[in-house]
């Protein structure tokens, strides 16, 4: 049968992943305007082996690909690098068709297989650094705990020097026709989506990510097959470098001003602060309305910009609720390489600045001492103070 649905990669390794353009939010909370791909790989040979599966909502498309490629042969093994359901929830559908397939994973995934899918049998457990010969190929497994879950591991196939890296090196965005790094306009289509994925999904585990990247340094890698985003065959070092930079939270000399405003007065304060930033020499400035920008994007901005200014109106004697939610998310991400600035507005008894101030103190953030609190709309004197506040932040960012 002609192979129409899968994509040959190298030496009988095939891409059999699926695209999801229906799910609006990844993990129920991160927007997917460009969808997401669930990458899966089938290695044909003396033994037929799948590496990582897809989400159940795409399983009928997926099974067509598997069945076309196997063309009546058995599936012998399924390597499960990561248990999150975007890569495993099709498992029952696959095992219904290929009940003899053995699952290969590590001990931390065994409980999860039972908890999610009531699967207890036909499991081969592998340990850190263990090598298995399957057919005419050799696979070595390396655990990468908390990148992204505790059971996460990667698989290295020696013959083709391929790293099946699960979530590591992945990103949002479907694979639209092309699947390889050298077939796509990376900067236009994937840079932002891979960056946002890293920050939203892996960012909080950056120390563990750096440990995982260190562990992989010793491998001779010619091909990287992640579970999301493009396959890296031309320049795997490019994605390794990008991930390393993200894991280190390397910031750029810019500033994001995030404001919460009910009637536009706090927005005008943000405009004045941004004017001060520009006068102070900052060229990369973003003003973000917290009510219109999902946290997914705000967190990405915060991760990358050296300067972050949060300005909020007060609401019921406390912080504007969307700003409160953002603070919760910032705590999860454990960002450490920013300079922070805060200001607040109020109508009668305040609340916003007090809450922001306490948050900064509790989290030991590097925050500017100037912390303006303005009643109602800013007058000329206050506008000037806000501009000076922006200039002060610019000097801090540019180390003047
Ligand atoms: Fe793509 Fe952590 O799952």
Total structural domains within the chain: 2
Ligand 1 pocket, residue 151 CB under 6 Å: no
Q: What is the pLDDT of residues 62-112, one digit of tens each?
A: 999 999 999 999 999 999 999 999 999 999 999 999 999 999 999 999 999
- 322: domain CATH number is 3.40.50.360
Domain boundary among 207, 226, 247: 247
| Residue 80 shares a structural domain with residue 184 | yes
Q: Is the CB of 20 under 6 A from ligand 1?
A: no
Question: Does any ligand 1 atom lie closer than 6 A to the CB of residue 55?
Answer: no
Residues 186 and 310 in one domain: no
Which of 208, 225, 247 is a domain's end point? 247
pLDDT (tens digit per residue) in 289-331: 999 999 999 999 999 999 999 999 999 999 999 999 999 999 9
For atom 3 of ligand 1, the residue with the nearest CA is 84
Judge whether 291 and 298 are in contact, CB under 8 Å. Answer: no
- Whether 331 and 308 map to the same domain: the answer is yes
Q: Are residues 114 and 157 located together in one domain of the fold?
A: yes
Together in a domain, 225 and 317: no
Q: What is the rounded CA–CA span in Å between residue 373 and residue 350?
A: 8
CB-ligand 1 contact for 84 (6 Å cutoff): yes
Decide: 181 in ligand 1 pocket, CB within 6 A. no
Does a structural domain hold residue 2? no
What does the H/E/C string look like for the chain? Answer: CCCCCCEEEECCEEECCEEECCCCEECCCEECCCCEEECCEEECCCCCEEECCCCHHHHHHHHHHHHHHHCCCCCCEEECCCCCHHHHCCHHHHHHHCCCCEEEECHHHHHHHHHHHCCCCCEEECCCCCEEEECCEEEEEEECCCCCCCCCEEEEECCCCEEEEECCCCCCECCCCCCEHHHCCHHHHCHHHHHHHHHHHHHHHHHHHHHHHHHHCCCCCCEEEECCCCEECCCHHHHHHHHHHHHCCCCEEEEEEEEECCCCHHHHHHHHHHHHHHHCCCCEEEEEECCCCCHHHHHHHHHHEEEEEEEEEEECCEECHHHHHHHHHHHHHCCCCCEEEEEEEECCCCCHHHHHHHHHHHCCCCECCCCEEEECCCCHHHHHHHHHHHHHHHHHHCCC
Protein residue whose Cα sits closest to atom 1 of ligand 1: 167
Range of the domain at 323: 252-398
pTM above 0.75, yes or no: yes
Q: What is the pLDDT of residue 400?
A: 81
* pLDDT per residue as tens digits for the range 334-372: 788 999 999 999 999 899 999 999 999 999 999 999 999
**Residues 337 and 206 occupy one common structural domain:** no
86 Cα: distance to centroid of ligand 1 (angstroms): 6
Answer whether residue 215 shows pLDDT above 60: yes
Closest ligand 1 atom number to CA of residue 152: 2
For residue 84, the CA-to-ligand 1 centroid distance in Å is: 5
Q: Is residue 1 part of a domain?
A: no
């Amino acid at each position: 049968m002609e192979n129409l649905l899968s994509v040959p990669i190298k030496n009988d390794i095939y891409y059999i992943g699926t695209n999801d353009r229906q799910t609006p939010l990844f993990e129920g909370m991160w927007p997917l305007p460009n969808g997401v791909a669930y990458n899966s790989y089938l290695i044909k040979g003396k033994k037929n082996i799948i590496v990582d599966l897809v989400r159940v909502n795409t399983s009928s498309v997926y099974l067509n690909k598997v069945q076309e490629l196997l063309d009546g042969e058995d599936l012998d093994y399924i390597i499960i690098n990561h248990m999150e359901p975007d890569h495993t929830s099709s498992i029952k559908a696959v095992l219904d068709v290929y009940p003899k397939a053995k699952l290969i994973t590590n001990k931390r995934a065994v409980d999860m297989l039972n908890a999610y899918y009531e699967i207890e049998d036909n499991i081969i457990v592998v340990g850190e650094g263990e090598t298995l010969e399957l057919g005419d190929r050799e696979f070595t497994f390396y655990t990468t705990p908390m990148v992204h879950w505790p059971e996460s591991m990667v698989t290295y196939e020696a013959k083709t020097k391929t790293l099946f890296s699960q979530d590591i090196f992945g990103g949002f965005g479907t694979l639209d026709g092309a699947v390889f790094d050298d077939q796509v306009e990376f900067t236009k289509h994937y840079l932002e989506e891979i960056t946002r994925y890293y920050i939203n999904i892996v960012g909080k585990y950056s120390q563990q990510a750096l440990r995982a990247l260190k562990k992989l340094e010793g491998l001779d890698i010619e091909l990287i097959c992640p579970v999301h985003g493009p396959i890296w065959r031309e320049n795997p070092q490019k994605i390794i470098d990008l991930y390393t930079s993200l894991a280190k939270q390397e910031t750029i000399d810019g500033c994001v001003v995030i404001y919460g405003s009910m009637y536009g007065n706090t927005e005008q304060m943000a405009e004045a602060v941004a004017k001060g930033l520009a006068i102070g020499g900052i060229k990369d400035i973003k003003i973000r309305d917290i009510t219109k920008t999902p946290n997914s994007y705000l967190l990405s901005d915060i991760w990358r910009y050296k300067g972050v200014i949060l300005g909020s109106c007060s609401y019921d004697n406390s912080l504007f609720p969307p700003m409160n939610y953002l603070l919760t998310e910032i705590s999860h991400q454990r960002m450490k390489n920013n300079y922070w600035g805060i200001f607040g507005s109020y109508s009668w008894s305040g609340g916003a600045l007090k809450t922001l101030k306490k948050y900064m103190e509790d989290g030991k953030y590097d925050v500017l001492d100037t912390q303006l609190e303005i009643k109602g709309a800013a007058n000329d004197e206050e506008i000037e103070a806000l501009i000076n506040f922006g200039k002060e932040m610019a000097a801090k960012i540019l180390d003047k």
